[in-house]
Amino acid sequence: MWDVVLDALLDTLKLFPFLFLLYILIELMEHNTAVGKPRRALSGKWAPALGTVTGLVPMCGFSVMAAKLWQHRHVTIGTLIAVFIATSDEALLVLLLSDAAVFAWDAKLFSILALLASKLVLGMAAGYFLDFVFRRKAVPLSEHHVHEGHSSHDGSGDHVREGGHDHEGEEDHDHGDCACAELSACEHHNHKESAIQLYLVSPLLHALQVAFFVLLVNLSFGFLFYGLGEDNVIAFLQGAGYWLQPLVCALIGAVPNCASSVVLAEVYALGGIGFGGLLGGLVVNAGLGYIVLFKRGSIREGLLILGGMLLFGLAVGYCANAVCLAWM
């Protein structure tokens, strides 16, 4: 039981740096800083391809980043889905490190390459298709910020000096210089404090909030798998039957937890499910990205995305099984 708690903590700690850096990036982008200048790469014509390639990296943090950027509308729906489809969490590592005595090296290499190639093609195809259908660009980032001055205007439109002084004469001019110097120093100090609050403190607090929510979800599904028993889940998948496996695997892949991709990869390595079931389940699996969609986003929007991913994963799984049968 303590292993469940430890695994949940480790998974959350591995994700936390991604969350922190992501919120810093979002703040830098939204306030039109130099870091946000290359933002067109996130919403341009290469964005779905970039998202697919990024999602292939066996880390759950990229799906979380894509989901959060989508909530801020800094990436298109096509880029989000491309990342989700390409994401496999730890499945690739499980396949790579599986027992060679059970899963021969030639079959292992072929399966990994076929999985990567399939996800690359499917992610890019789905991403560009969705962007074409919806023709929706990412929301432009903020390009203007109102900076309030330290002076005001009266009702007649005349400029009113702060403190009511006209600063006429050489002596008053000297005092004015001192006042301006003090004001400049004050502005610099306030700007520095504001930057720390904006680019460090606020992202840290947001990352901690999401990380805590992720930890609760990890614990919940961890105890669920613990209660069901991994051996029982594997046995159930093995007995699901060739044409029922894509459905079962897709439902397991929809579980927003690293354990779902690990179970699918382990069962496939043991010969319990076919390639269609593995591919269908891992297409649906987007790691912890679904958690972010439902954390602060629209429930309706999240359900539509999850439902679409499930239908797409089912179609891919059954098509892959049909191809495997024809190939055999």
Question: Which one-letter DSSP state was computed for residue 59?
Answer: -
Please state, in angstroms and rounded to a whole number, the distance separating the CA atoms of residues 63 and 60. 6
Which range among 7-16, 194-203, 310-319 has the greatest average pLDDT? Answer: 310-319
Say what the pLDDT of residue 305 is.
94
pLDDT confidence of residue 157:
41
pLDDT value, residue 192: 54
pLDDT digits (tens, 9 = 90+) for 78-126: 999 999 999 987 888 889 888 776 788 888 899 999 999 999 999 999 9
User: What local confidence, expressed as pLDDT, does residue 263 receive?
Assistant: 84
| Residues whose CB is less than 8 angstroms from the CB of residue 175 and which lie 6 or more positions away in sequence, other chains included | 165, 167
Mean pLDDT of 277-292: 90
3-state helix, strand, coil in the chain (%, to 5): 75, 0, 25
- The Cα–Cα gap between 6 and 10 comes to 6
* CA pair distance 128, 3, nearest whole angstrom: 41
pLDDT, tens digit (0-9, with 9 covering 90-100), for 227-267: 776 677 777 777 767 778 899 999 999 988 777 888 888 88
Residue scoring higher pLDDT (261 or 8): 261
Instruction: Look at residue 81 in the predicted model and tell me its pLDDT.
Output: 96
pTM value is 0.71
What lies within 8 Å, CB to CB, of 292 at 6+ separation is 64, 67, 68, 71, 210
The three-class DSSP label of residue 139 is coil
Angle CA 237–318–88, to nearest 5: 65
Pick the more confident residue, 77 or 15: 77
Mean pLDDT of the chain: 76
Q: How far apart are CA 16 and CA 204, in angstroms?
A: 10
Lowest mean pLDDT among 36-50, 180-194, 281-295: 180-194
**Is 322 in a helix, a strand, or coil?**
helix
CA distance 111 to 117: 10
Arithmetic mean of pLDDT, 161-187: 47
* Mean per-residue pLDDT, 5-23: 80
**What pLDDT does 162 receive?**
40
Give the residue among 273, 288, 310 at the shortest CA–CA distance from 115: 273
Give the pLDDT of residue 64: 85
Give the residue, 38 or 82, on which the prediction is more confident.
82
The token pair that represents 326 in the structure block? 């024809």
Q: 153: pLDDT confidence band, cut at 50, 70 and 90?
A: very low
What pLDDT, on the 0 to 100 scale, is given for residue 170? 47
% of the chain residues with pLDDT over 70: 73
Spatial distance between the Cα atoms of 260 and 278, rounded to a whole number of angstroms: 11
Domain boundaries, the chain: 2-137+195-327
Residue 247 pLDDT: 92
Range in 89-103, 137-151, 263-277 the model is least confident about: 137-151
- The reported pLDDT for the residue numbered 292 is 83
For residue 53, what pLDDT is reported? 92
Q: Dihedral angle at the C-alpha atoms of 115, 118, 119, 121, nearest 10 degrees? A: 160
- Determine whether 164 is exposed, middle or buried from the number of CB atoms within 10 Å of its CB (0-12, 13-18, 19+): exposed
pLDDT at 277: 92
More confident residue, 233 or 209: 209
Q: How confident is the model at residue 139 (pLDDT cuts 50, 70, 90)?
A: very low
Specify the range with the lowest mean pLDDT, choosing from 30-39, 297-306, 314-323.
30-39
**Residue-wise DSSP of 174-209:** HHHHHHHHHHHHHHHHHHHHHHHIIIIIHHHHHHHH
Give dist(CA 141, CA 20) in Å, integer.
Answer: 20
pLDDT band at residue 128 under the 50/70/90 scheme: very high
- Mean pLDDT throughout 145-161? 39
